[in-house]
Amino acid sequence: MMLISTLLASALALADSRYPAGIGESPNPDHSEERPVVVELFTSQGCPPCVEANRRFGELAAREGVIALSYGVDYWDMFGWADQFAQPAFADRQQDYIREGEATRVFTPHFVINGGPERLRFTRDNVPHRVATSLPLTADIALSRIDGGSVLLELDGPLRETPAEVWAVTYRPGMIIVPIDGGRNAGTDMEHHNTVAALDRLDDWQGGEYIQEFAAPAEDFGLAILVQDGSGGPLLAARRLAPE
Protein backbone atom coordinates (compact mmCIF):
# COMPACT_ATOMS: atom_id res chain seq x y z
CA MET A 1 0.00 0.00 0.00
CA MET A 2 3.00 2.31 0.51
CA LEU A 3 3.67 2.05 -3.23
CA ILE A 4 0.09 3.05 -3.96
CA SER A 5 0.24 5.95 -1.50
CA THR A 6 3.48 7.24 -3.00
CA LEU A 7 2.14 6.98 -6.54
CA LEU A 8 -1.09 8.74 -5.65
CA ALA A 9 0.59 11.47 -3.65
CA SER A 10 2.72 12.32 -6.67
CA ALA A 11 -0.16 12.35 -9.16
CA LEU A 12 -1.08 16.00 -8.69
CA ALA A 13 2.58 17.03 -8.63
CA LEU A 14 3.13 15.81 -12.19
CA ALA A 15 3.00 19.00 -14.26
CA ASP A 16 3.15 18.21 -17.94
CA SER A 17 4.41 21.30 -19.79
CA ARG A 18 3.47 19.79 -23.14
CA TYR A 19 -0.17 20.76 -22.53
CA PRO A 20 -0.14 24.48 -21.67
CA ALA A 21 -3.79 25.08 -22.57
CA GLY A 22 -4.95 23.40 -19.38
CA ILE A 23 -8.47 23.01 -18.10
CA GLY A 24 -9.77 25.96 -20.06
CA GLU A 25 -8.91 24.43 -23.41
CA SER A 26 -11.73 24.67 -25.91
CA PRO A 27 -13.79 21.51 -26.42
CA ASN A 28 -13.35 19.66 -29.68
CA PRO A 29 -16.00 20.96 -32.12
CA ASP A 30 -16.17 17.48 -33.66
CA HIS A 31 -17.55 16.01 -30.42
CA SER A 32 -21.34 15.70 -30.22
CA GLU A 33 -24.00 13.34 -28.91
CA GLU A 34 -23.68 11.38 -32.16
CA ARG A 35 -19.87 11.60 -32.17
CA PRO A 36 -18.91 11.38 -28.49
CA VAL A 37 -15.73 10.92 -26.54
CA VAL A 38 -15.99 8.74 -23.40
CA VAL A 39 -14.12 9.73 -20.24
CA GLU A 40 -14.08 7.15 -17.44
CA LEU A 41 -12.70 8.08 -14.01
CA PHE A 42 -11.79 5.62 -11.28
CA THR A 43 -11.85 7.53 -8.00
CA SER A 44 -12.20 7.09 -4.25
CA GLN A 45 -13.59 9.13 -1.38
CA GLY A 46 -10.47 8.23 0.61
CA CYS A 47 -7.97 9.41 -2.02
CA PRO A 48 -6.60 12.96 -1.43
CA PRO A 49 -5.72 13.73 -5.09
CA CYS A 50 -9.23 12.62 -6.11
CA VAL A 51 -10.81 15.70 -4.51
CA GLU A 52 -9.34 17.98 -7.17
CA ALA A 53 -9.65 15.37 -9.91
CA ASN A 54 -13.38 14.98 -9.23
CA ARG A 55 -13.87 18.75 -9.55
CA ARG A 56 -12.03 18.83 -12.86
CA PHE A 57 -13.96 15.79 -14.03
CA GLY A 58 -17.17 17.77 -13.42
CA GLU A 59 -15.95 20.43 -15.85
CA LEU A 60 -15.26 17.77 -18.46
CA ALA A 61 -18.69 16.22 -17.87
CA ALA A 62 -20.32 19.54 -18.76
CA ARG A 63 -18.76 19.60 -22.22
CA GLU A 64 -20.92 18.80 -25.22
CA GLY A 65 -20.25 15.38 -26.68
CA VAL A 66 -18.45 14.05 -23.59
CA ILE A 67 -19.89 10.92 -21.95
CA ALA A 68 -18.34 11.15 -18.48
CA LEU A 69 -18.65 8.20 -16.07
CA SER A 70 -17.19 8.07 -12.56
CA TYR A 71 -16.58 4.72 -10.81
CA GLY A 72 -15.89 4.43 -7.08
CA VAL A 73 -13.23 1.92 -6.01
CA ASP A 74 -12.68 0.59 -2.52
CA TYR A 75 -8.97 0.06 -1.93
CA TRP A 76 -8.68 3.30 0.06
CA ASP A 77 -11.32 2.08 2.52
CA MET A 78 -8.64 0.62 4.82
CA PHE A 79 -7.63 4.15 5.83
CA GLY A 80 -10.83 4.77 7.77
CA TRP A 81 -13.59 5.74 5.34
CA ALA A 82 -15.68 3.38 3.21
CA ASP A 83 -16.52 4.79 -0.21
CA GLN A 84 -20.30 4.64 -0.47
CA PHE A 85 -20.27 4.44 -4.27
CA ALA A 86 -17.63 1.71 -4.66
CA GLN A 87 -18.54 -1.72 -6.04
CA PRO A 88 -16.38 -4.77 -6.80
CA ALA A 89 -17.46 -4.66 -10.46
CA PHE A 90 -15.93 -1.20 -10.82
CA ALA A 91 -12.59 -2.33 -9.41
CA ASP A 92 -12.72 -5.28 -11.81
CA ARG A 93 -13.19 -2.91 -14.74
CA GLN A 94 -10.20 -0.88 -13.63
CA GLN A 95 -8.14 -4.05 -13.35
CA ASP A 96 -9.09 -4.90 -16.95
CA TYR A 97 -7.74 -1.52 -18.07
CA ILE A 98 -4.56 -1.95 -16.05
CA ARG A 99 -3.97 -5.41 -17.51
CA GLU A 100 -4.41 -4.22 -21.11
CA GLY A 101 -2.75 -0.83 -20.73
CA GLU A 102 0.55 0.76 -19.84
CA ALA A 103 0.27 0.91 -16.04
CA THR A 104 1.57 -1.88 -13.82
CA ARG A 105 -0.64 -1.35 -10.76
CA VAL A 106 -3.93 0.30 -9.81
CA PHE A 107 -3.97 3.98 -8.90
CA THR A 108 -6.44 6.79 -8.36
CA PRO A 109 -7.43 9.15 -9.82
CA HIS A 110 -7.30 7.08 -13.01
CA PHE A 111 -8.70 8.49 -16.26
CA VAL A 112 -9.37 6.37 -19.35
CA ILE A 113 -10.39 8.09 -22.59
CA ASN A 114 -12.25 6.04 -25.21
CA GLY A 115 -10.94 2.88 -23.57
CA GLY A 116 -7.31 3.85 -24.11
CA PRO A 117 -4.84 2.39 -24.85
CA GLU A 118 -3.20 5.18 -22.84
CA ARG A 119 -4.28 5.31 -19.18
CA LEU A 120 -3.85 8.80 -17.77
CA ARG A 121 -2.64 9.90 -14.36
CA PHE A 122 -4.34 13.15 -13.51
CA THR A 123 -2.80 16.58 -13.89
CA ARG A 124 -4.82 19.75 -14.33
CA ASP A 125 -3.50 20.03 -17.89
CA ASN A 126 -3.03 16.65 -19.50
CA VAL A 127 -6.50 15.13 -19.11
CA PRO A 128 -8.44 18.11 -20.57
CA HIS A 129 -5.96 18.28 -23.44
CA ARG A 130 -6.36 14.61 -24.26
CA VAL A 131 -10.15 14.89 -24.12
CA ALA A 132 -10.14 17.91 -26.43
CA THR A 133 -7.85 16.23 -28.95
CA SER A 134 -9.38 12.73 -28.90
CA LEU A 135 -11.11 11.52 -32.03
CA PRO A 136 -14.84 10.95 -31.55
CA LEU A 137 -16.41 7.51 -31.69
CA THR A 138 -18.33 7.25 -34.96
CA ALA A 139 -19.70 3.70 -35.08
CA ASP A 140 -23.30 3.17 -36.13
CA ILE A 141 -25.24 2.99 -32.85
CA ALA A 142 -28.66 4.21 -31.71
CA LEU A 143 -30.32 4.18 -28.29
CA SER A 144 -33.94 5.16 -27.73
CA ARG A 145 -36.88 4.74 -25.38
CA ILE A 146 -39.86 2.72 -26.54
CA ASP A 147 -43.31 2.04 -25.14
CA GLY A 148 -43.58 -0.05 -22.02
CA GLY A 149 -40.61 1.38 -20.15
CA SER A 150 -37.97 -0.28 -22.30
CA VAL A 151 -34.88 0.84 -24.19
CA LEU A 152 -33.98 -0.17 -27.74
CA LEU A 153 -30.32 -0.57 -28.72
CA GLU A 154 -29.38 -0.78 -32.40
CA LEU A 155 -25.86 -1.49 -33.66
CA ASP A 156 -24.43 -2.10 -37.11
CA GLY A 157 -20.94 -2.61 -38.44
CA PRO A 158 -18.54 -5.01 -40.15
CA LEU A 159 -18.44 -8.64 -39.04
CA ARG A 160 -15.79 -9.34 -36.42
CA GLU A 161 -13.42 -12.27 -35.89
CA THR A 162 -13.64 -11.81 -32.12
CA PRO A 163 -16.76 -10.51 -30.38
CA ALA A 164 -17.01 -7.07 -28.84
CA GLU A 165 -18.52 -6.60 -25.40
CA VAL A 166 -21.70 -4.57 -24.92
CA TRP A 167 -21.92 -2.84 -21.53
CA ALA A 168 -24.80 -0.97 -19.91
CA VAL A 169 -23.69 1.69 -17.42
CA THR A 170 -26.35 3.17 -15.14
CA TYR A 171 -25.32 6.45 -13.54
CA ARG A 172 -26.59 9.37 -11.44
CA PRO A 173 -26.34 12.43 -13.70
CA GLY A 174 -25.10 15.72 -12.31
CA MET A 175 -23.28 16.50 -9.10
CA ILE A 176 -23.53 14.93 -5.65
CA ILE A 177 -21.62 16.42 -2.70
CA VAL A 178 -20.66 13.99 0.06
CA PRO A 179 -19.27 15.15 3.44
CA ILE A 180 -16.28 12.94 4.25
CA ASP A 181 -16.02 12.33 8.01
CA GLY A 182 -13.08 9.92 8.17
CA GLY A 183 -9.99 8.68 6.41
CA ARG A 184 -7.47 10.87 4.61
CA ASN A 185 -10.12 13.29 3.28
CA ALA A 186 -11.81 13.86 6.65
CA GLY A 187 -13.48 17.26 6.82
CA THR A 188 -13.83 17.54 3.04
CA ASP A 189 -17.07 18.07 1.12
CA MET A 190 -16.26 15.98 -1.94
CA GLU A 191 -17.86 16.51 -5.34
CA HIS A 192 -18.97 13.54 -7.42
CA HIS A 193 -20.20 13.83 -11.00
CA ASN A 194 -22.06 11.26 -13.12
CA THR A 195 -21.52 8.61 -10.47
CA VAL A 196 -21.94 5.06 -11.77
CA ALA A 197 -24.53 3.00 -9.89
CA ALA A 198 -24.47 -0.24 -11.91
CA LEU A 199 -22.33 -1.88 -14.57
CA ASP A 200 -23.83 -4.78 -16.53
CA ARG A 201 -22.49 -6.75 -19.47
CA LEU A 202 -25.46 -7.09 -21.81
CA ASP A 203 -24.11 -9.25 -24.58
CA ASP A 204 -21.36 -9.94 -27.10
CA TRP A 205 -21.51 -8.40 -30.57
CA GLN A 206 -20.06 -10.21 -33.58
CA GLY A 207 -20.65 -7.30 -35.92
CA GLY A 208 -23.46 -6.92 -38.40
CA GLU A 209 -26.94 -5.71 -37.52
CA TYR A 210 -27.79 -6.05 -33.84
CA ILE A 211 -31.03 -5.06 -32.08
CA GLN A 212 -31.79 -5.60 -28.42
CA GLU A 213 -34.56 -4.42 -26.11
CA PHE A 214 -34.01 -4.21 -22.36
CA ALA A 215 -35.46 -2.50 -19.29
CA ALA A 216 -34.89 1.22 -18.86
CA PRO A 217 -33.04 2.39 -15.74
CA ALA A 218 -34.94 3.69 -12.74
CA GLU A 219 -36.29 7.24 -12.81
CA ASP A 220 -33.64 9.96 -12.43
CA PHE A 221 -30.83 7.67 -13.63
CA GLY A 222 -28.99 8.01 -16.92
CA LEU A 223 -27.84 5.14 -19.13
CA ALA A 224 -24.71 4.79 -21.24
CA ILE A 225 -24.01 1.94 -23.65
CA LEU A 226 -20.34 1.16 -24.26
CA VAL A 227 -19.25 -1.26 -26.99
CA GLN A 228 -15.73 -2.43 -26.26
CA ASP A 229 -13.09 -4.40 -28.12
CA GLY A 230 -12.60 -7.01 -25.40
CA SER A 231 -12.19 -6.53 -21.65
CA GLY A 232 -10.09 -3.43 -21.07
CA GLY A 233 -9.81 -2.73 -24.80
CA PRO A 234 -10.59 0.41 -26.80
CA LEU A 235 -14.18 1.53 -27.18
CA LEU A 236 -15.82 1.05 -30.55
CA ALA A 237 -19.12 2.84 -29.95
CA ALA A 238 -20.97 4.69 -27.22
CA ARG A 239 -24.29 6.38 -26.69
CA ARG A 240 -26.14 7.75 -23.68
CA LEU A 241 -29.75 8.24 -22.70
CA ALA A 242 -30.72 11.00 -20.29
CA PRO A 243 -33.32 10.42 -17.54
CA GLU A 244 -36.93 11.01 -18.49
In a domain, 30, yes or no: no
In a domain, 26, yes or no: no
CA distance 58 to 157: 32
pLDDT tens digits along 181-215: 999 999 999 999 999 999 999 999 999 999 999 99
Which of these, 48, 15, 207, 224, lies nearest to 121 by C-alpha position? 15
In a domain, 50, yes or no: yes
In a domain, 31, yes or no: no
In a domain, 95, yes or no: yes
- Of 54-58, 146-150, 176-180, 209-213, which range is least confident? 146-150
Domain range for 200 is 2-6+36-241
Task: Please state, as a whole number, how many other Cβ atoms lie within 10 Å of the Cβ of residue 67.
Answer: 25
pLDDT tens digits along 22-68: 444 556 767 888 899 999 999 999 999 999 999 999 999 999 999 99
In a domain, 60, yes or no: yes
Confidence at 3, pLDDT banded by 50, 70, 90? very low
Q: What angle, 0 to 180 degrees and rounded to 10, lies between the N-to-C axes of helices 126-133 and 48-61?
A: 30
Q: Which pLDDT value is given to residue 2? A: 35
In a domain, 135, yes or no: yes
pLDDT tens digits along 81-127: 999 999 999 999 999 999 988 778 889 999 999 998 766 777 777 88
Q: Which pLDDT value is given to residue 25? A: 57
> Domain of 199: which CATH number?
2.60.40.10
In a domain, 21, yes or no: no
Confidence at 17, pLDDT banded by 50, 70, 90? very low
Q: Which pLDDT value is given to residue 141? A: 95
The total of structural domains in the chain comes to: 1
The answer to whether the pTM exceeds 0.75 is yes
